[in-house]
Structures are given as C-alpha cells and as structure tokens.
Amino acid sequence: MVEVVLETVALTMRFGGVVAADNVNFKLRARELRCLIGPNGAGKSTFFKCVAGLQTPTEGQVFMRGTETTGWMPHQIASMGVGIKTQTPNVMDELSVFENIWLAARRFHPVAEANRKAQEMVERLALGPIARSTLGRLAHGERQRVELGLVAVGDPWLVLLDEPAAGMSAEDVERMTGIIHELNRTAAIVIVEHDMQFIRSIAKTVTVFHQGAVLMEDHVDRVMSDATVRNVYLGKKA
C-alpha cells in the first residue's frame, strides 16, 4: 500500500456564518498529483490555506506522513520537507535568481551542498541565461519558474501549489507542466488551479469542491464529463 502523505479529517473552516470548508476528508498518497478545482468561492483556497498552515481550521485535523500538523505555521510545515508555493511570493526582488535559489537551498543544506543544489536547480529549470538577473526585473512566467525552483530545491516529498499557471502564456504553462511532472517523480503534489487546459494536461485525479465540500473525486476525464460538475462549474464557465 502506498504511503498516505497528506490526510485531512473532517476539516472545517467557518468565517462567521460562512462554512468555507465543510467536513473535508482528503487523502493523498506518495507521488500522487491532485488538482483541486471548483467554481469561485467553492472553498479550494481555504482548504489549501488550512493544509499549508496559513489558516487554522475551526474543526478537524491535518496529518502529514502520519504527524498531526493542524495549526502549525507554514515554516514548521516546510521544515518537514513540504514545499509550499502560495500566491504571495516569498522572494527577494533585489537579489538575483541564483541568490534567491541559493538562499532557499541554504535553508536545507550546508554551504557547499547549497552551491551545488542551487546550480543544479538553475540548470533543471533552464534559468541559466537569467541566473544573474535581479528577480524584480523578470517577466511573470520566469518569476513563477524561479518560485517553483525555490520550492523544489528543498527536495520536498510533498508540494502544495496555489494557482501556479495564473497569468502565464501558453509557452510558460507548457514549461511549468514539464517542471511539475519532473517534481512529481519524487514528490506528491496538490495544485489549486483555475486553468482548465493546464488541468487537463497535468491531472489524473481531480477533487472538485462545491460550497466548501468535496463534490466529486475521480479521473479528470470523468470529472469533466460529469453532468453535476458541469452544472456547478464548467456549465458556468462555458
């Protein structure tokens, strides 16, 4: 049996009278890739934030590799070997691409190893030509790639990505897809995403949220052709 690396048990988050996440029981196994989809306000981001330590659920529990992490801060979760990429970038605009990646590597490795890891990541992400550029001057797609590098350089076994394809060109999305597939060889990945084309290209199993709860969890093709899902989500988008 493949190890469960992430589990939530009856995870619930209330904001006053709004139940943003409603009794979510979720399981992710080692090296699984799961996309979380659903219409605006369905609760995807809230669920993601509760798992990543950005919010503490009002009820329920989060487990990572069997350890309860409910209420932990993001840095505590990261130190377990979990890579978190939120929509608020955790980068230093005035430093170069290489320096940013090196700093992220240094958090996990001694200096010599950090040098090697940072160099390797620059090559893996094809960032060579812009390695010395200041991060603040990069185009959006390049920046997203660097941010993924910051996550990958820690050799995570679980990666949490919030809308990695947002605002990207088709070419950037394709490149991002390749990097995520490579990461997925060693890490389980959760992706919150709106971009249907990206989801189709990358996902196998998809979890659909609706009104805070899990509406359906199945192969992307079955989910996309399901009448209920189309009504709550795709139907609105068409």
Q: Which residues bind ligand ATP (CB under 6 A)?
A: 15, 18, 20, 38, 40-46, 209
- Is 43 or 83 the residue whose CB approaches ligand ATP more closely? 43
- Is 38 or 149 the residue whose CB approaches ligand ATP more closely? 38
- Is 18 or 92 the residue whose CB approaches ligand ATP more closely? 18
Shortest distance, CB of residue 17 to ligand ATP, whole angstroms? Answer: 10
Sign of CA dihedral 176, 48, 212, 55: negative
* Amino acid making up residue 82: V
CB hemisphere CA count around 24 (13 angstroms): 38
Shortest distance, CB of residue 120 to ligand ATP, whole angstroms? Answer: 34
- Is 44 or 109 the residue whose CB approaches ligand ATP more closely? 44
Shortest distance, CB of residue 238 to ligand ATP, whole angstroms? Answer: 17
- Measured between alpha carbons, how far is 71 from 133 in angstroms, rounded to an integer? 37
- Is 45 or 69 the residue whose CB approaches ligand ATP more closely? 45
Sign of CA dihedral 192, 197, 200, 202: negative
Shortest distance, CB of residue 210 to ligand ATP, whole angstroms? Answer: 9
